[in-house]
């Protein structure tokens, strides 16, 4: 309901913005249950397109690739991003002053520019054959910054005297991290993992440049299918991917510190 005292025009403007953002998503979900091969009009309700989707070997293979890449890239990015976030918060001196710039640059850089840069780096510098490895490296690269931001924000809201007390009581740096720091920042670490997983599994632009031939992810497979027409099968897989993405984003938002926002 509209909050008491809020101008009517502001409420209407907000409603229009939300409708613009979410109405197309609702249409995709609705037409995934349309009993027609064409999406020109509503014919009737059916769930058979989800059965067709589960029998599509190419789609299942692409989904398996996406899940594997998202899990591995998120795990590695979470470890590296956690270390980077701690370093940015605890040791902003010397050469480490440049760490925020190095870590956050992939976050601020346009995806198409990052994709082209990684493509040139893989082919002209590393002479790496594009494929699963190049996709993993690319996804790790742009995910580290998001984990570092969340972990750093989690640390920024903590009292440093807690860690000083642990050291005064004789705890080594590793014991302090394992028994004090990690338990306190664990919600932020989990939120960073979920955010990385979400960004990785639905990334298209960067993956498009570094995938090469023979490796297809779910977004790339969907793109290849809509070149001909947007079939109900595309709507079905988009609905499932949307549900997974929104669920992970909502969970990450609950775990992350206040003020942390996703890339998309």
According to the model, what pLDDT value does residue 25 have? 85
For residues 114 and 174, is the Cβ–Cβ distance under 8 A? no
- Stretch 35-51: mean pLDDT, rounded? 80
According to the model, what pLDDT value does residue 10 have? 83
Give the model's confidence band at 261: pLDDT under 50 very low, under 70 low, under 90 confident, else very high: very low
Which residues, 6+ apart, have CB-to-CB distance to 88 below 8 Å?
A: 96, 99, 100, 103, 148, 152
For residues 80 and 143, is the Cβ–Cβ distance under 8 A? no
According to the model, what pLDDT value does residue 9 have? 82
Q: What's the pTM?
A: 0.80
Q: Look at the block and give the residue holding tokens 């809201």.
A: 157
Inform me whether the pLDDT recorded for 258 exceeds 80: no
Inform me whether the pLDDT recorded for 230 exceeds 80: no
The answer to which of 67-71, 133-137, 238-242, 251-255 has the lowest mean pLDDT is 251-255
Say how far apart CA 73 and CA 67 lie, in whole Å: 10
Question: Which of 208, 215, 210 minimizes the C-alpha distance to 126?
Answer: 210
- Stretch 174-186: mean pLDDT, rounded? 84
What one-character DSSP code corresponds to residue 257?
A: P
Work out the mean pLDDT of the chain and round it to a whole number: 83
- Homologous superfamily of domain range 57-255: MetI-like (1.10.3720.10)
For residues 66 and 218, is the Cβ–Cβ distance under 8 A? yes
- Tens-place pLDDT, residues 79-135: 999 998 888 887 766 666 777 788 888 888 888 999 999 999 998 888 888 889 999
Say how far apart CA 150 and CA 239 lie, in whole Å: 28
According to the model, what pLDDT value does residue 256 have? 62
Inform me whether the pLDDT recorded for 194 exceeds 70: yes
Say how far apart CA 151 and CA 256 lie, in whole Å: 9
Inform me whether the pLDDT recorded for 190 exceeds 50: yes
Q: Look at the block and give the residue holding tokens 């990334």.
A: 203
Question: Which of 230, 210, 219, 209 minimizes the C-alpha distance to 65?
Answer: 219
Helices (H), 91-159: 99-108, 111-120, 132-156
Give the model's confidence band at 1: pLDDT under 50 very low, under 70 low, under 90 confident, else very high: very low
């Amino acid at each position: 309901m509209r909050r008491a005292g809020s101008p009517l025009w502001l409420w209407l403007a907000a409603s229009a913005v939300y409708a613009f953002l979410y109405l197309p998503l609702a249409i995709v979900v609705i037409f995934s249950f349309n009993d027609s091969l064409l999406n020109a009009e509503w014919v009737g309700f059916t769930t058979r397109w989800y059965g067709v989707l589960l029998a599509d070997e190419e789609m299942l293979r692409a989904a398996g690739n996406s899940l594997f890449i998202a899990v591995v890239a998120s795990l590695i990015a979470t470890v590296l991003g956690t270390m980077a976030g701690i370093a940015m918060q605890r040791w902003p001196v010397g050469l480490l002053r440049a760490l925020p710039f190095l870590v956050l640059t992939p976050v601020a850089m346009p995806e198409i520019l990052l994709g082209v840069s990684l493509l040139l780096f893989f082919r002209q510098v590393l002479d790496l054959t594009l494929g699963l490895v190049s996709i993993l490296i690319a996804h790790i690269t742009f995910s580290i910054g998001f984990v570092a931001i969340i972990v750093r924000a989690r640390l920024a809201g903590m009292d440093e005297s807690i860690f000083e007390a642990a050291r005064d009581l004789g705890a080594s740096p590793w014991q302090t991290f394992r028994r004090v720091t990690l338990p306190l920042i664990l919600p932020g670490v989990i939120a960073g993992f979920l955010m990385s997983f979400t960004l990785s599994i639905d990334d298209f632009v960067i993956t498009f440049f570094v995938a090469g031939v023979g490796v297809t992810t779910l977004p790339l497979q969907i793109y290849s299918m809509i070149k001909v027409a947007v079939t109900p099968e595309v709507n079905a897989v988009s609905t499932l991917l949307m549900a997974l993405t929104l669920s992970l984003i909502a969970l990450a938002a609950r775990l992350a510190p206040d003020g942390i926002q996703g890339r998309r």
